[in-house]
Structure 1
Amino acid sequence: MTAILDLSIISGPLVIVVYAVSALVALLLIAVRPSRRWSRRRWLLVAAVALVAGAVVGLVATWIVSDWANVFGVVLSAVVHTWIAVGFAGMALAAASFVRATWRRIVASALALLLFAATTAMSINIDIGQYPTVRSALGLSAYQGNPLPQISAPPAGTARSTIATWTAPNGMPDHGTVGEVEIPATVSGFPARPADVYLPPAALTANPPLLPVLIVLSGQPGNPDAPLSAAKLQRSLDAYAAQHQGLAPIVVSPDQLGSPQANPMCIDSPLGNSATYLTVDVPTWIRSNLPVLDSPDYWGIGGLSQGGTCSIQLGAAHPELFSAILDASGELAPSLGDEQKTIDQGFGGDSAAYEAATPAAIMAAKAPYTNMYAVFGVGANDSGFKPGVQTLYQDALAAGIDAVYVEAPDSAHDATAWAYTFQQGLGLIADRWGLNR
C-alpha cells in the first residue's frame, strides 16, 4: 500500500503508462465506429468535428475561468491551457461516441471520458507540481507517521558546540530527517493540523550546535508538508548541509490554514487565530523542543503562494521575532479572492483594518528596519503574481529592508518557481546566518 501511495504522478512509469493508454484509447475511439449504423466516413467526420469543438470549448472555458474571471486567483500557463484543450478534445470525442452506439461502446466511451478527464488533471498537476505523489493527491502528508528523532543534549560536563566551533563528527548522518509533530495551540486555540520539522545532519549528532530556525508555510489549498516535499525544500536543505559540514537551518512547517480549503489569511479573525498561532504558540514550542538560537537574528519565516503572503505579513510585522523573510510567489495582500469578501469575512467589514494588514502598510508603519533581510521570488512567466512580488520588493527596499529579488526561469505559479526561490533564498539566508563554514 505504501508503495502505491508513494508513486509519482508528475514523472516516471505511472505517468508514461497513463499517457500511453490515453493515446491508445483515443486512437481506438477514432478507428472503431460506435456501431454499424455509422458509415466510416461519417464517423471520421463527426470525430474530427468533436475533437476541434472540444478543444475550442476547453480553451474558451479556461480563458473565462482563469484569465477573465480569475476564479483560481492565478493565471494559468500556456502549457496548462494546451493540456485543457487536449483533454476537452478527448472528452468531446468520448461523448460523441455515445450517439447511436452499442451498449459496449457506451460503457467503453464512459470509461474513456473518465480516463481523459483524469489525464487532463494529471497533466495540469505536472505543470503546477502541487501534488507530486498519490499520497499528496489524497491529502496525506509525505511524512505522516514519521516521528521526530529525539535530539541529544551535550554529554555531562561537555560544552555545547556552536556554529563557529563546529566540526562535523565521525558517523554524522549524510542527510537530514523530517518528523511530524503536534504543536499545541495553547494561546490561540487555532485548529492546526500536525506540523513537519526538518532536522539537518548536525542536529542529529551527540552534541548538536544551537541552530537558526526557519518557519515555512504552504500555499492554499495545501498541507504543511508541501514546502519540504512538493517545493523540494528538504532536498535543498540536504544539499546545503552536504556542502557545509552538516549545517543547515532547522525548518518548522506548521499549519496556518486549519484544513486544506480554509484560508484564515494569517490574521486573527472569526476565521481563526492563525496569526497568534504562528507568532506565539509555534515559537513557544520551538524554543522548548528544538536546539535553536533564541534570537531574532537567527529566526526567519517563509512560504509559498498564500504562505508567501503570510511570510511578508508576519515577518514585516514582527521584527522582534524574525530577521529574515522568504516570500515565494506571495500576494500583495491577504485575500479570499474578492477584496470586499476579504474585508467582510476577515476584517468585520472594516476596510481600514484591511488596509493596515497589507504587507505594504505594515512595512511603511514599521520602517525603517535596521536588521531585516528578505528574499522575494516568483516565476518569470507568472503574469498574475509577478507584478505584486516586484511591488513588494520595492516596498521592502523603501522601508530599509535589505532585500533581494529572484526570478525562476521558465516557470509560472508552480512548484518549479517555489523550489527555485526556496533554493536560492535558503542559500542566501543560511549564509547570512553564518552556516557557510
Structure 2
Amino acid sequence: MGTRSAAGRLGIAAGAAGVVVLVATVVVALSVTTGLVQPDEAVPPMSLPLLSAPMAAGAADAASPLPETWRPPADLPSTGSFGSVRIPATVSGFSARDAEVYLPPAALVPDAPALPFVLMMMGQPGDPDAGPIASVLDAFAAAHNGLAPIVLVADQLGDPDVDSLCLNTAEYGQVETYLERDVLDWARGNLNIQTGRDSWTVAGFSNGGQCALSLALRYPEVWGSLIDASGTAYAGLETEPDVLADVFGGDQAAYDATKPATLLGERRYPDTTAVFTVGSEDSEMEPGLKDLSGTAKAAGVAVTYYEVPGEGHSLEALDGGLTRAFGVLASRLGLG
C-alpha cells in the first residue's frame, strides 16, 4: 500500500486490535494526509465453516429474533476472526482483488446460527480491508452475547488507483454485475447468512460509501439497510469533467441518471433504512452527505444522520460512524 496522498479518498487499512487472525508481514507507512499509521498486512486465507446447503435468495429467515433463541456456549470465542477469500468473477469477468470476510464469535462455534449479512466496500485508493469493521463488530458482539453480522468486504476498484465508478462501463469493467451477481452468489453459497432483505446491509467508506448508496438505491429489493460512511456524493465527483467525457461521451443526462440524488428523485424507498455518517471536520464530504441524507429522507428512507465529533476523513470517523450505525440497525437486523 504505502503512503496515501489522495485527500478525501483514503483507503484505510489499519488492522483491528484483538481480532483472532495471523499476520504474516507488516510494513508500516505514515499517511501524509491523515497522520494514520497504516500497516501493510498479508492477511491469510479464511477457513470458512462448511454449509449444509447454499442459501437460496429470498429464503425465509427464522421467525424469532436471535436474542430470544441463541444460547452462547461456554467456549464462545471472545472475538471474531477475519481473513481473505477469492471470489470468482463468473458472470462479470471483473478483475477484482481478494475480498475479506469477518466472522463474529457466534459464527465460530458448532451449529452456529445463520446471521445477518453486510457487504462493505472501502475507499480509493485502498484495499478490501475487514480490519476496521471487525474491530467495531467485535465490540458489538461483546455486548450481544457474541452475535453480530457476518461481513464480506469486497473490491469495487480492481486497480486501487482507478475509480471504477461502481458501474458497468467499457472503461473499467462490469463492476456493478460483479458486486450484485458474483459476490452475492458467492456469499449465498459460502456464508452462513440470513437471506431476507431486512437482514442485509450494504455499507461503505468514502468511495465505497458512494458505491453502497448507489447499490442500495438501484437494488432496493436486495438491500434493506445502508451505511454510507463519509461517502462521496456521486461517482466520479473528483474528476467529473474527465468522467463525463471519457465514460459518458459527454452525455450529461446519462451521467446525471447514475447519481444518487437523481435516483432518489425518481422513486420512493419506504422500507429502506439508511445511516449516513461523516466526521464533523470533514469539510470535503460533509456538505454533500448532509444534503443527500435530506434528499433520502424526502424519498421515504428512514434516515439517521450522524457527525462524528472532531473528526475529519479518518479511521476514527469510520470507527465512530460504524459504531453509531450498528447501534441504530441492531433492532432491524434482529440483534438487539
TM-score relative to the length of structure 2: 0.85
1:392 aligns with 2:300: no
1:311 aligns with 2:212: yes
Structure showing the higher helix proportion among its residues: 1
* Cα 1:393/1:279, change in 2 over 3 Å: same
Contact 2:65 2:334 in 1 (8 A): no
Match of 1:426 among 319, 326, 332: 326
Contact 2:48 2:191 in 1 (8 A): no
Partner of 2:184: 283
* Cα 1:174/1:299, change in 2 over 3 Å: same
1:333 aligns with 2:207: no
- 1:191 partner amino acid: S
Q: 1:318 Cα shift?
A: 0.7
Give the gaps of 5 or more residues in structure 1. 10-70, 77-118, 136-141, 155-159
In 1, distance between residues paired with 2:149 and 2:73? 18
Give the gaps of 5 or more residues in structure 2. 11-27, 54-61
Contact 1:379 1:409 in 2 (8 A): yes
In 2, distance between residues paired with 1:295 and 1:366? 22
Partner of 1:47: none
Q: Deviations over 1:102-160 (max 9, x none)?
A: xxxxxxxxxxxxxxxxx9x8362553x3x522x2xxxxxx3522323324659xxxxx9
Contact 2:265 2:299 in 1 (8 A): yes
* Cα 1:147/1:324, change in 2 over 3 Å: same
In 2, distance between residues paired with 1:405 and 1:346? 32
Q: Deviations over 1:152-204 (max 9, x none)?
A: 659xxxxx997241111121211111021111111111101100000111111
Partner of 1:352: 253
In 2, distance between residues paired with 1:75 and 1:274? 19
Q: 1:422 Cα shift?
A: 1.1
In 2, distance between residues paired with 1:202 and 1:72? 38
Q: 1:354 Cα shift?
A: 0.9
In 2, distance between residues paired with 1:244 and 1:420? 18
Partner of 2:101: 197
In 1, distance between residues paired with 2:85 and 2:31? 33
In 2, distance between residues paired with 1:255 and 1:214? 14
Find the residue that maps to 1:339 and give its secondary structure: helix
Percentage of matched positions with identical amino acids? 39
Partner of 1:144: 43
Partner of 1:132: 38
Find the residue that maps to 2:142 and give its secondary structure: helix
- 2:145 partner amino acid: Q
In 2, distance between residues paired with 1:291 and 1:285? 11
Partner of 1:234: 134
In 2, distance between residues paired with 1:280 and 1:378? 29
* Cα 1:73/1:360, change in 2 over 3 Å: farther
Contact 1:143 1:196 in 2 (8 A): no
Partner of 2:198: 297
> After superposition, where does 1:30-429 map in structure 2 within 5 Å?
72=6, 74=8, 122=30, 124=32, 127=35, 129=36, 132-133=38-39, 135=40, 142=41, 144-151=43-50, 163=66, 164-225=68-129, 228-229=130-131, 232-270=132-170, 271-335=172-236, 337-367=238-268, 369-429=269-329
In 1, distance between residues paired with 2:74 and 2:196? 30
Find the residue that maps to 1:406 and give its secondary structure: strand
* Cα 1:149/1:75, change in 2 over 3 Å: closer
In 2, distance between residues paired with 1:170 and 1:331? 44
Q: 1:361 Cα shift?
A: 0.9
Q: 1:333 Cα shift?
A: 1.0
Find the residue that maps to 2:238 and give its secondary structure: coil
Contact 1:152 1:205 in 2 (8 A): no
Contact 2:281 2:310 in 1 (8 A): yes
In 1, distance between residues paired with 2:196 and 2:31? 44
Q: 1:72 Cα shift?
A: 4.3
Which structure is richer in relative contact order (CA contacts within 8 A, separation 6 or more)?
A: 2
In 2, distance between residues paired with 1:360 and 1:194? 31
In 2, distance between residues paired with 1:422 and 1:206? 28
* Cα 1:297/1:187, change in 2 over 3 Å: same
In 2, distance between residues paired with 1:336 and 1:409? 25
Partner of 1:79: none
Partner of 2:17: none
Contact 1:162 1:210 in 2 (8 A): no
